[in-house]
Structure 1
Amino acid sequence: MPFWAPLKSSLSTKLLNITVSSLCKAKQIPNAETAIVDGIRLGVLPDVVTYNTLIDAYCRFATLDVAYSVLARMHDAGIPPDVVSFNTLISGAVRKSLFSKSLDLFDEMLKRGINPDAWSHNILMNCLFQLGKPDEANRVFKEIVLRDEVHPATYNIMINGLCKNGYVGNALSLFRNLQRHGFVPQVLTYNALINGLCKARRLKDARRVLKEFGETGNEPNAVTYTTVMTCCFRCRLFEEGLEILSEMRSLGFTFDGFAYCTVIAAMIKTGRMQEAEEIVEMMVSSGVRPDLVSYNTLINLYCRQGRLDDALRLLDEIEGEGLECDQYTHTIIVDGLCKAGNFDGAQRHLNYMNSLGFGSNLVAFNCFLDGLGKAGHIDHALRLFEVMEVKDSFTYTIVVHNLCRARRFLCASKVLVSCLKCGYQVLRATQRAVIVGLRSIGYANEARKVKLTIRLAQFVP
């Protein structure tokens, strides 16, 4: 018999709700259902809160259909659903990326005569942005403003949604307009706007907003700085990126592996290996526990430096940490072995990848092809190309490019035409290299045929 069985007052339903909520949070939904059944048998009737708790649990730990079926049970019990019931269902649909279903639930709520609240409209706006309907989201926003039901979260959703849909300028204008009307932005507001500005490569505006952020008395967090730092590196403003890194350190922010890897990867891409090594030492000395992304970044660094033994040593360290190397990890190793001229080792590692069941390993094979071509082993590369079951545009581009490097323009033209007929594309620079190369060796007619094939391929859907 349940411990709350002796209670027969109105307090019993409250205690039942507490019990059901605790069981649901512990993911013991069957026990929660049993508690409800026992309560009914004892005359302790559930109310709308009881069923809303069940709806939320099923949305989180089961399917939306099961959660929705609770509404029928509420109807049978004579308990009408309220706005919380539908908000919970709509939120559950959003979490499962069922955005169209969320809109259907919102319409059903209106048909049942249930008035949406501010949270309902916030969820609706988020759905419309996710579905790529910013104009409709803006219409809902205006309706909320007219009814004076705006919540700080509403502004955050609006700014974030505009940024993600490519309307960064509108988001910045809205932000400025809100400031003039006394709105005090939250950390989430600043982060959403700064992230949008950075993705749009509007670094000056992002830096300006970041500076304002600090002047408001709020504390930009590590996410804010990392976002701007990443944008600096993408815009190839490495000195500014490193300045932000230094500022973060001076402010005492605790770095995670992502922030360090962002810096290291940027240094590697620009060939600043010494600085990358210094950041690695900084990461190790700070006691950051590397994750797989961190290890992959370090392996890439060591391979670029020709330190293959250190890179292979990290493979053992990854396993020692209880992590599993992914396809990208092994691809970096294959590329490093190729750059070192160890093609036998690269082939063995490809075979090892196959034994691990990674599938086609197309990126790794492309690295191997490119390495062979650049090392002058073009015939070996062609034999491998012929037996490859899976190919993509990069595969064809690599082969055509390296055939041009070897001045084998006729062969390159045949591979290029084959590529276009298969529906793939080769980089325009490589296409031009084939045409110019054919002309240079006296095959002007063949060059015209290739050029015509390229033009025809552009009109094929």
Structure 2
Amino acid sequence: MITRLSTKFMNICISTMCKSNQISKAEVVLIDGIKLGVYPDIFTYNTLINGYCRFVSLDAAYNILNRMKEAGINPDVVSYNSLISGAVRKSHLSKSLQLFDEMLQSGIRPDVWSYNILMHCLFRLGKPEEANSVFKDIVESGEMYPCTSTYNVMINGLCKNGYVKNAVMLFRNLQRHGFVPQVLTYNTMINGLCKAKRLGDARRVLREFCEYGYEPNAITYTTVMKCCFRCGRLEQGLEILSEMRMKGYTFDGFAYCTVVAALVKTGRIEEADEIAQKMMSNGLVPDLASYNTMINLFCRQGRFDDALKLVDKIERQGLKCDQYTHTIIIHGLCKVGDFAGAEKHLDFMNSLGFGFNLVAFNCLIDCLGKAGHIDQAMKVFDSMEVKDSFTYTILVHNLCRARKFLFASQLLIGCLKSGFHILRATQRAVIDGLCSVGFIKQARKVKTKIRSARLIR
């Protein structure tokens, strides 16, 4: 005799296989179960829907609904929640709204999770007013109660859409009505304030976080620390770093590289090197972004051999250097005046199959111009396969520095004809330069071309 336990055991097997991305094996278990007389239930199909959404495709997951109906099982709110959530996760936002409407038309009553997913979708579509309207409907309906996740979705969505003030008001209003925020809520609020560069408010929420008896985690501290660095409050950021150390937090590579990048930008190379060495001694395996930060540090110190050794180490570990990695090295070589080495490394990049590196060429032209090698910079410019507005702006600016205003004006006019845009400060430098050396007629011509280009745009 087949018992309910048999179906439960089959569901556990299917769930385990779906979680480990073995969908085909989960289907085999289902088929074998049916052959043995163990029939699936609503949980079986919902598990498959979730698995297909995560690892196969939304269309394949949606087809499970037809299989359910053929088996005499009606989809429920969990079925549609999984589909809507899968659509949002894969950025099929319009499809998620269609699924929500289909659920309503099928007579399936949404639950609080349905509305949470819908609000998240609306925020991602850039429709905060509509998301707020859904939130009000939940609160005022009296039929269901918002959960902590509902509030987190609202706070996160408001912050990401630029309504940080409204997010703070909601956060405080909830507290006044007895809501006790959890760690994730505080992290969401702190992250939103940090992204809006409201460092003072972020630190106040962090203090409040501790006063409630919660222990901020490494993510909380790293978020505030990064905001300190972004706002130019280096010492405050380092204070948070010290506090993290005192509390015994295990740093991840992201936290270390945040500190190293900030120290490098402010010229505190020795301290940055010390932090980088500490990171390596703690046995952390950096990702490519972390390695790029350390390569940048070595290049700033002129330690190109160490930078290239690190590149070899990256390749040995199975990571593949990107264009940014090589651009850092090229820029470092240019900064110390080794232009031959920079061009050689550009050729090396091409041999690796990276193709044309526009950013690296722009760096080379800029450094050549600033070092007084303007003729060489023009040769590099003429040899480039692709140019952008930055390329033209860099060369025009450096031609003005070299007092070659006539060449600069000709290049500026050619740039405007090609539809590129040059910074207004650089345009003014060309006009002022022409006037200063007596080319008044050419200065007027440039002004006319600039006006025409503005009217066309």
Q: Report the TM-score, using the length of structure 2 for normalisation.
A: 0.96
> CA 1:50 to 1:198, structure 2 compared with 1: closer, same or farther past 3 Å?
same
1: CA distance, partners of 2:422 / 2:61: 50
CA distance in 1, matches of 2:324, 2:132: 41
Counterpart residue type for residue 132 of structure 1: G
The ranges of structure 1 where at least 4 consecutive aligned residues each deviate by more than 3 angstroms after the TM superposition are: 284-287
Q: Which residue of 2 aligns with 1:415?
A: 411
In structure 2, how many angstroms separate the alpha carbons of the residues matched to 1:204 and 1:14?
A: 53
2:263 maps to 1:306: no
- For residues 310 and 27 of structure 2, what CA distance do their matches in structure 1 show? 50
Deviation at 1:171?
0.1
Structure-2 residue corresponding to 1:242: 238
- Give the aligned partner of residue 248 of structure 2: 252
Taking the aligned partners of 2:284 and 2:71, their CA distance within structure 1 comes to 55
Shift of 1:360: 1.7
1:178 Cα deviation from its structure 2 partner: 0.5
The residue that corresponds to 1:354 in the other structure is 350
- The residue aligned with 1:83 is 77
2:329 matched residue in structure 1: 333
Alignment of 1:371-450 (within 5 A): 371-450=367-446
For 2:430, the aligned partner's letter is: V
1:15 — aligned with what? 9
Partner Cα distance (1:176, 1:115) in 2: 31
Name which of 172, 183, 193 aligns with 2:168.
172
CA distance in 2, matches of 1:439, 1:274: 47
In the other structure, the counterpart of 1:155 is: 151
Name which of structure 1's ranges 57-66 and 260-269 shifts more when overlaid on structure 2. 260-269
Q: Secondary structure of 1:255's partner? A: coil
Name the amino acid aligned to 1:105.
L
SS at match of 1:410: helix
Is 1:345–2:341 an aligned residue pair?
yes
Deviations 1:321-355 (A, max 9, x none): 33222111111111111122222111111011011
Judged with a 3 Å threshold, the aligned counterparts in structure 2 of structure 1 residues 22 and 234 are, in CA distance, closer, same or farther, namely: closer
Distance 2:13 2:365 in 1: 63
| Gap change, CA 1:309 and 1:19, over 3 Å in 2 | closer
Unaligned runs of 5+ in 1: 1-6
What are the residue-to-residue correspondences of 1:361-372 with 2, within 5 Å? 361-372=357-368
Q: Distance in 2 between matches of 1:279 and 1:91?
A: 41
Identity, in percent, stands at 68
- Residues 37-95 of structure 1 deviation map (CA, whole Å, 9 limit, x = unaligned): 33333332222111111111111111100110111111122211000110111111111
CA RMSD, Structure 1 to Structure 2 (Å) = 1.6
The SS at the match of 2:456 is coil
Deviations 1:376-412 (A, max 9, x none): 2211211221221111121111111111111101111
2:197 to 184, 187, 201: 201
Change (3 A) 1:161 1:427: same
Partner residue in 1 for 2:452: 456
Q: Give the match for residue 125 of structure 2.
A: 131
Aligned residues: 455
Larger mean CA deviation between 191-200 and 9-18 belongs to 9-18
Report the residue type matching 1:125 in the other structure: M
Offset from partner CA, 1:298-323 (integer Å, 9 cap, x none): 21112112222222222222233332
Q: What SS is found at the alignment partner of 2:347?
A: helix
Task: Letter of the 2:379 partner, please give it.
Answer: R
Shift of 1:247: 1.4
What SS does the corresponding residue of 1:166 show, helix, strand or coil? coil
Match for residue 96 of structure 1 among 65, 79, 90:
90
TM-score by length of 1: 0.95
- Of the three residues 208, 211, 226, the one matched with 1:212 is 208
Structure 2 unaligned residues grouped into runs of 5+? none
- The residue type equivalent to 2:266 in the other structure is T
